[in-house]
Amino acid sequence: MKNNELAKRIKGLRNRKGFSQEELSEKSGLSLRTIQRIENGGTEPRGNSLKRLAMAFGVSPNEIIDWQIYEDSNVLNLLNFSQLGFLAFPILGIIIPLVIWILKKDKVKNVDRIGKSILNFQITWTIVLFLTYLVWGLNIVLHLGLFLPAIGPVAIVGGLYVFNFLMIIVNSMRFYKMKKIYYQPALNILRQN
C-alpha cells in the first residue's frame, strides 16, 4: 500500500471523528510530529503506532488499513426497507436498521445521516405506539372512558402502522428519485450533523 493512500485515509478518518492533529496526538500517545509525518505520507504507521491510532479512532487496525468510504445505493435501500421489520414486531423496526447503521456508518456514504434519521423516526414511532397501548390498558383497568370500546385504540394503532409503512415507501421512492428523505415527526435522539 502506498503511503499517500494510507495518509489520506488517516487524515480523512481524523476529520470524520472531528479531531485536530493535536487531539489525535493526545488520544493516541504519538507525538504531533509523528501524526504530521503520517498524514503527509512521510512515514507509514506500523505495529504499535497503528494500534495506538486505531485505539484513538475506536476502530481496529485493519479498519484503518482498509478504511474507505464508498457509495452503495444497495446498502441505503436495504437500510430504508429494513424498517419494515416493525410489521413483525415493533422493536425490529429499530433493531434491524440499527445493526446496518452500526456496521456501515463509517464505510458507506450517507448511511450515517440517513440511518440517524430512520432510527430517530422509528424510536419516536415505537414510543407513540407504546404510549397508545399504555393509555388503552389504563383506560380498560381504570374505566376512564377515553376511547370508544375497542374501535378507538384499534383505529389509532392501525393508523400508526399505516403511517409508518407509508413513510417507508414514500422515502424509499424519494431516495430512488435522488431526492432528500424526510422521516418526520421524530425526536432528535441521535443528533444529526
Condensed to tens digits (0 to 9), the pLDDT of residues 113-162 reads: 999 999 999 999 999 999 988 888 887 788 777 666 667 778 889 999 99
Residue, of 106 and 28, whose pLDDT is higher: 28
Q: Per-residue pLDDT averaged across 95-113, rounded?
A: 90
pLDDT tens-place string over residues 31-78: 999 999 988 888 888 888 888 988 898 887 777 776 556 778 899 999
Q: Give the Å distances, CA to CA, from 97 to 68, 84, 112.
A: 21, 10, 11
Q: What pLDDT, in 10s, does the model give residues 156-187?
A: 899 999 999 999 999 999 988 888 888 999 99
Tell me, what amino acid is at 54? Answer: A
Specify the amino acid at residue 6.
L
- Rounded to two decimals, the pTM is 0.65
Preceding amide of 185 cis, omega within 30:
yes
The third-level CATH classification (topology) of the domain covering 3-66 is 434 Repressor (Amino-terminal Domain) (1.10.260)
pLDDT for position 54: 86
